[in-house]
Amino acid sequence: MSFFLETLLGGLMSGMLYSLVALGFVLIYKASGVFNFAQGAMVLFAALSMARFSEWIPEWLGMDNLLMANLLAIVVSVVVMFAVAWLIERLVLRHLVNQEGATLLMATLGIGYFLDGLGQTVFGSDIYKIDVGMPKEPVMMLESVFEGGILINKEDFVAALISAMLVLALTIFFQKTSTGRALRAVADDHQAAQSIGIPLGRIWVIVWCVAGITALVAGIIWGSKLGVQFSLQTVALRALPVVILGGLTSVPGAIIGGLIIGVGEKLSEVFLGPYVGGGIEIWFAYMLALMFLLFRPQGLFGEKIIYRD
């Protein structure tokens, strides 16, 4: 029983990270109809930036205050991600307006490759650590409920808390601010939004900035848990089935889909894996997504896809 619960919780934790990446997908897709394959590269890029600046800044400034260094590194990384977002809009998206989805998809693949290369060229390609002072010690829980209790990392709690706050902040941003409302207008209808004077280019920069911030948050959490390395880039591929499951246009879908995939992966690996030779995590999620594609292409929460000419 405690083993099952631990597996479940482990699944929820990795599912939460998928949710964060999937959130990046959904934000950009809603506002620009672009499926951003580069989201994984952005997570890696942001994490690398965070890891390296938190290392470099104390060296440059000659200080040893961890909190201060981390705060500065976060600020610098946010600026870096904003610059990336601005450049992507400026150099790529602007020139591909009104292109087909498949073309845009391939363009973001190109962006992803470029960012992967750039990140490692600028920041290096070793394994780095991010230490934002997250509590590392594990705690025993539910000892009173059943024998042995379950073992949980405090870190995971903090991470869950941060993610929840991010989602809350985004919700407020979308519902309450004028920029947020403009974003939703663009999501509903590009041309209509343009015709009432919402500047598409600026909106896209903002959305990519927001996606950059979610990438940074995901990168910090993931990086402080497992270290920053190139394999982080594959997280986009892991999170892709999430948006199919949850629906490409739905923020709650991204979150719930992420949790379902995270838990499903872990449970299937632990309880089903041994019978078929193990290692089924990745394709299990994809097969689940494939079933959805065949029988419910809009996902759990997405808007129904209607092709009308």
226 binds another protein (CB under 8 A): no
Q: Give the three-class secondary structure for 1.
A: coil
Burial grade of 101 (CB within 10 A; 0-12, 13-18, 19 or more) = exposed
CB 192 within 8 A of CB 65: no
In the complex with another protein, the residue whose CB is nearer, 91 or 172, is 91
CA dist 224 and 158 (Å) reads: 12
- Other CB atoms within a 10 A radius of the CB of residue 189 amount to 10
Residue 278 per-residue DSSP state:
S
Stretch that binds another protein, among 119-127, 152-160, 178-186, 263-271 (CB under 8 A): 119-127
- Site residues for another protein, window 236-265 (CB under 8 A)? 237, 240-241, 244, 248
x/- map, 264-293, another protein, by CB under 8 A: ------------xxxxx-xx--xx-xx--x
137 binds another protein (CB under 8 A): no
> Which residues, 6+ apart, have CB-to-CB distance to 234 below 8 Å?
40
Q: What are the start-end ranges of the E strands in the chain? A: 138-141, 150-153
Q: How far is the CB of 303 from another protein (least distance, A)?
A: 12
Q: How far is the CB of 10 from another protein (least distance, A)?
A: 21
CA dist 299 and 253 (Å) reads: 8
Q: How far is the CB of 254 from another protein (least distance, A)?
A: 14
- Site residues for another protein, window 62-91 (CB under 8 A)? 91
139 forms bridges with which residues in the sheet?
152
- Site residues for another protein, window 32-51 (CB under 8 A)? 35
112 binds another protein (CB under 8 A): yes
Residue type, 60: W
In the complex with another protein, the residue whose CB is nearer, 102 or 196, is 102
Q: How far is the CB of 234 from another protein (least distance, A)?
A: 9
